[in-house]
Amino acid sequence: MAAQSVPQLRKDFLWGFATASFQIEGSLDTDGRGPSIWDGFSRTPGKTLDGGNGDVATDSYRRYKEDIALLKSYGVKAYRFSLSWSRIIPLGGRNDPVNEQGIAFYSNFIDELIKNGIVPFVTLYHWDLPQGLHDRYGGWLNKEEVVADFVNYSKASFICFERFGDRVKHWLTLNEPWCVAVLGYGRGVFAPGRSSDRNRSTEGDSSTEPWIVAHNLILSHAYAVKLYREEFKAKQGGVIGITLNGDWAIPYDDSPENVAAAQATLDVAIGWYADPIYLGFYPPYMKQMLGERLPEFTAEELAVVKGSSDFYGQNTYTTNLIKAGGNDEFQGNNIQTFTRPDGTQLGTQAHCAWLQTYPEGFRALLNYLWKRYKMPIYVTENGFAVKNENSLPIEKAQNDTDRVEYFEGATESLIKAVTEDGVDIRSYFAWSLLDNFEWADGYDTRFGVTYVDYKTQQRYPKASAKFLVKWFGEHIPSDKVEEPVPTSKEQAVEA
Ligand code: GBH
């Protein structure tokens, strides 16, 4: 029988799992950490579905060695995690003191990863703005202050991780700026919870603030990258970029207005950030939709923004069918649905309303990004929350069939995008290593490939973890030097 070769990813492909500081660390008052906007927000009654907050989370600040041992047991190449700004600079600002204990924590953490052969993939900002900056000047709303403070915080991070021997080669400035702007300052469902909806918030203006915040996020990212490139890149030899959220959009049917609506949805979900950063301008559709409310870049700013990412970073989870209509600007004044015209559903429903399985959409999105932005792609998050998993006994939850099917589809789309479509993809991080604090959902929604029993903090690998470990083991050429008499990988897999 002819040996059928298993299609392969790049030899240096980075696969692993992702997390974020506030979702896992806990120990919020430990070792000099200052509060973040999520501390108080998550403790405020009514802000999270189950009343959960970040006080303990998965206790990973204390259990970090255990987490890294788990990663090691999974055989990952890389781990994507975020730094807590207020651990490094408790009050957040450029004239505020740096906290050596916070730096020591992340320094030890990075050492432990490297000791275990795991590449650190570091996000500087995953939504936990220092409360000090929100109180002092309105946080992301204040361009003059926040851009300078984010650049200073980035610089502090580049310096400390250089000081300890040049260990971080992969940087992400911001995670999902769309979520920061829209969910934090538009819908008001995430910290700091500002919104025009006075049932939700006494302050905020959803018609202006998200566009301002987004503009300031883009500038903060761009100036941090400029700094890295000018002062650190030559010495450290790393790459730096941003990661966006965005899901594939399919026209509901082939009517011209729905075809146009699907593109407009992508323009607002992704192009809002990606177009200025990779192409040098806001999408024309956004200008048309927002008029004067869309801030403008000065020529000097634009020169810094355009080209400010060494790669294309993407978090993606699902696909939506798009119909023209409605007045939700955050969706480009379009309607999103999972229900096809014939009444069937696009895929398997997750625990969260916004998520269904649809792997073909992942492949289509990767192709779209590759053609439009022409940059190597790092997939930095992709994952699934099994419906009602939280109400199952542990052994049942570990048998997470719907999540396994989700990852089967995703990995098939990934390998086809690489080997059949020629898309240059450099990483895949599944969300998430652990069940953890799922923001406004609290602990009711579980995204982990590892079950966390929150009563004991015991970790239990789920079937999905085993699936991914096996799949990537088979699809990344091994580092080992070729042996003189090759033991055929093909045969091993076929047997
Ligand atoms: C990621 O966001 C986050 O980076 C991560 O921290 C999080 O735990 C993970 O996903 C799982 O949720 O109906 O208008 O409220 C995912 C991207 C974009 C998904 C916004 C939910 C809801 C839009 N998210 N979307 S809305």
Q: Which residue's CA lies nearest to atom 8 of ligand 1?
A: 438
Q: Is the peptide bond before 192 cis (omega within 30 degrees of 0)?
A: yes
**pLDDT score recorded for residue 258:** 98
- Nearest 5°: the CA angle 137, 143, 148 is 85
Whether residue 493 lies inside any domain: the answer is no
H/E stretch holding 14 reads strand 14-18
CB distance 245 to ligand 1 below 6 Å: yes
Whether residue 71 lies inside any domain: the answer is yes
Q: Which residue's CA lies nearest to atom 25 of ligand 1?
A: 354
Whether residue 485 lies inside any domain: the answer is no
**Is 483 assigned a catalytic role?**
no
Spatial distance between the Cα atoms of 237 and 247, rounded to a whole number of angstroms? 31
The tally of domains found in the chain comes to 1
Contact residues for 305 (Cβ-Cβ < 8 A; gap 6+): 218, 219, 222, 276, 277, 280, 297
CB distance 381 to ligand 1 below 6 Å: yes
Whether residue 371 lies inside any domain: the answer is yes
In order, the DSSP letters of 309-337 are -SSEEEE---EEEEEE----GGGTSEEEE
Each of the 495 residues of the chain gets a pLDDT tens digit; together they read 445 689 999 999 999 999 999 999 999 999 999 999 999 999 999 999 999 999 999 999 999 999 999 999 999 999 999 999 999 999 999 999 999 999 999 999 999 999 999 999 999 999 999 999 999 999 999 999 999 999 999 999 999 988 876 699 999 999 999 999 999 999 999 999 999 999 999 999 999 999 999 999 999 999 999 999 999 999 999 999 999 999 999 999 999 999 999 999 999 999 999 999 999 999 999 999 999 999 999 999 999 999 999 999 999 999 999 999 999 999 999 999 999 999 999 999 999 999 999 999 999 999 999 999 999 999 999 999 999 999 999 999 999 999 999 999 999 999 999 999 999 999 999 999 999 999 999 999 999 999 999 999 999 999 999 999 999 999 999 866 555 544 444 444 433
25-29 contacts at long range (C-beta below 8 A, 24 or more positions apart): 25/54, 25/57, 25/60, 25/61, 25/84, 26/54, 26/55, 26/56, 26/57, 26/58, 26/59, 26/60, 26/61, 26/62, 27/59, 27/61, 27/62, 28/54, 28/55
Whether residue 5 lies inside any domain: the answer is no
Centroid of ligand 1 to alpha carbon of 199 (angstroms): 22
CB distance 82 to ligand 1 below 6 Å: no
The parent domain of residue 83 ranges over: 14-475
Structure tokens at 436: 């953890």
Catalytic residue among 112, 145, 209, 381: 381
Report which ligand 1 atom has the smallest distance to the Cα of 175: 4
Whether residue 7 lies inside any domain: the answer is no
Centroid of ligand 1 to alpha carbon of 270 (angstroms): 14
Instruction: Read off the DSSP letter of residue 453.
Output: E
Gyration radius of the chain over CA positions: 22
Spatial distance between the Cα atoms of 142 and 134, rounded to a whole number of angstroms? 9
Report which ligand 1 atom has the smallest distance to the Cα of 385: 11
Centroid of ligand 1 to alpha carbon of 245 (angstroms): 8
**pLDDT score recorded for residue 489:** 47
One-letter identity of residue 444: D
**pLDDT score recorded for residue 493:** 40
CATH number at residue 255: 3.20.20.80
Q: Which residue's CA lies nearest to atom 21 of ligand 1?
A: 354
CB distance 176 to ligand 1 below 6 Å: yes
**pLDDT score recorded for residue 480:** 65
Whether residue 2 lies inside any domain: the answer is no
**pLDDT score recorded for residue 164:** 76
Ligand 1 pocket test target in 174, 175, 179 with most atoms within 8 Å of CB: 179
Q: Which residue's CA lies nearest to atom 15 of ligand 1?
A: 183
Residue owning tokens 């634009």 = 302
Centroid of ligand 1 to alpha carbon of 101 (angstroms): 31
Structure tokens at 453: 């029993």
